[in-house]
Amino acid sequence: MSESDFDPDEEQGSRIPNFYKLDVSSRRQLIARRANVTLERLTEALDTGGLDATTADKVVENVLGLYGLPFGVALNVRVNGVDRLVPMVVEEPSVIAAASNAAKMVRAAGGFSAEMIDTWMTTQVQLSSVPDVPQGIARLEQASTELLSLAANAVPGLLERGGGPRGIEVRNLGQGQLVLHVHVDCKDAMGANLVNSVAEAVGPRARELSGGRLGLRILTNLCDKRRVRVTCRVHAPDLVVRENGDADGRAVVDAVVEASKFAELDPYRAATHNKGIMNGVDAVVMATGNDWRAVEAGAHSYAARTGRYGPLAVWRRDGDDLTGELEMPLALGTVGGTLRVHPVARLSLEIMGIERASELSEIAASVGLASNLAALRALATEGIQRGHMSLHARSVAAAAGATGSEVERTASQMTQSGQISLEAAKAALDAIRGR
Q: Given 282, 291, 359, 362, which residue is catalytic?
A: 291
CB 148 within 8 A of CB 165: yes
Q: What is the CA 396 to chain-centroid distance, rounded?
A: 27
**Neighbouring-strand partners of residue 71:** 89
CB 126 within 8 A of CB 215: yes
Task: Say if residues 72 and 97 touch (Cβ distance below 8 Å).
Answer: no
Annotation says 92 is catalytic? yes
Contact in structure between 351 and 35 (CB atoms under 8 Å): yes
Exposure letters 166-195 (e unless 16+ CB within 10 A, then b): bebebeeeeebbbbbbbbbbbbbbbbbebb
Q: Compute the residue count for the chain.
A: 435
Catalytic residue among 104, 225, 388, 426: 388
- Out of 83, 92, 224, 238, the active site residue is 92
**Nearest residue to 20 via CA among 73, 69, 68:** 73
Told to judge if 21 belongs to the known catalytic residues of this protein, a careful annotator would answer no
Is 224 marked active-site?
no
* Whole-angstrom distance, CA of residue 358 vs CA of residue 190: 10
* Residues near 415 by beta carbon (within 8 Å), at least 6 away in sequence: 389, 390, 393
Q: Considering only CA atoms, which of 370, 377, 291, 297 is closest in space to residue 329?
A: 297
Determine the Cα–Cα distance for residues 19 and 31; give it in Å rounded to an integer: 10
| Helix-strand-coil split of the chain, %, nearest 5 | 50, 20, 30
If we measure between CA atoms, which residue out of 101, 99, 102, 97 comes closest to residue 391?
Answer: 97
* C-alpha span between 11 and 31 (Å, rounded): 9
- Of the listed 246, 275, 296, 325, which one is catalytic? 275
Q: Is 187 a catalytic residue?
A: no
State how far the Cα of 307 lies from the Cα of 302, in Å rounded to an integer: 10
Question: Are 345 and 288 contacting, i.e. CB atoms less than 8 angstroms apart?
Answer: yes
Neighbours of 10 (CB within 10 A): 12
User: CB within 8 A of 54, min separation 6: which ones?
Assistant: none
DSSP strand pairing (164-174 vs 177-185)? antiparallel
3-class secondary-structure state, position 358: helix
Residues labelled as active-site residues: 92, 275, 291, 388
